[in-house]
Amino acid sequence: MSYRVLVCGGHGQLGRELQASVPAGWSCLAPGREQLDITVAGSTADVLDELQPDIVVNAAAYTAVDRAESEPELAHKINAEGASQLAGACADADIRLIHVSTDFVFDGRASTPYGPEAICNPLGAYGHSKLGGEQGVQEQLPGSAIIRTSWLYSRFGANFVKTMLRLMTEPDKLTVVHDQVGSPTWAAGLARAIWTMAERPQLSGIYHWSDDGQCSWFEFAQAIQSEAHALGILERTIDIEPIPGSDYPTPAQRPAYSVLNSDRSAHDLDLTPVAWRQQLRNMLADLQEHEND
């Protein structure tokens, strides 16, 4: 079956990966914010009426974790109110919604991977706004699907991998936090999971998807340098020094452990998460292939 899919947040790294991997025979619409602003309820309903999608994927979000501490109202307006209004418009038009959320809905006090049923307790304004979005989506459209992810990166947009690659060309030494652990996730792999979910209209509720395995930010940085150097993206290597998060204070407190359990998704989507380091290698090769784009 062929579907017409509307992607909100189509200019972000996940939105662009979704557009780059549309299933054969499907159509993907990704209007900019000037055409579709999910914080404006009437506008959202008008766009849905005009474009007539079968499915909406909400990848639109306020993602500036630290800035959210000084702009909590804006984060809430986009991530909570906007998501809720979008879900309400989808409910009115009988359109299926897949909403993207985050590991930051958890407080990081666990020692084993968080399942979709785990109790949420966000630490900062960003996490609170994303949890508010989940709750609004479920209230407005109980049949929706919510997919949480973690440590997302891509050749598109700004992210940790691209920041590290830039910094690794400048100093002789780099310090990276070693006491925050999670699962890096290539946005292209998440896009594949979302498209598979879109193909299965019976799926609803909360799902988790991240690449397989876990590491600290320090270990992630080490792997980025090693893999990028092997591919010739980096001409040299530098010293990377592990530091505790207390030595790198940020406005927003981050969960110390935010690994997600993707077992339900793997079963229901019939997909096996790929090891995070292999996906990092895949992303760097993709970045290298498109370096002149």
Which residues participate in catalysis according to the annotation?
126
CA distances from 185 to 44, 66, 101, 163, 215 (A): 29, 20, 13, 16, 11
- Encoded tokens for 263: 């077992």
Rounded distance, CA 214 to CA 288, Å? 25
Beta-carbon contacts of residue 134 (< 8 Å; ≥ 6 apart): 83, 99, 101, 105, 120, 146, 206
From first CA to last CA, the distance across the chain in angstroms is: 33
Rounded distance, CA 263 to CA 117, Å? 12
Helix 276-289 to helix 160-167 angle, to the nearest 10 degrees? 70
Q: Coil, strand, or helix at residue 73?
A: helix
Closest CA to 222 of 238, 209, 202: 238
Residue 36 near residue 81 (C-beta atoms within 8 A): no
Please state the φ and ψ torsions of residue 145, each to the nearest 5 degrees.
Answer: -115, 135
- Encoded tokens for 212: 């397989």
Please state the φ and ψ torsions of residue 99, each to the nearest 5 degrees.
Answer: -110, 135
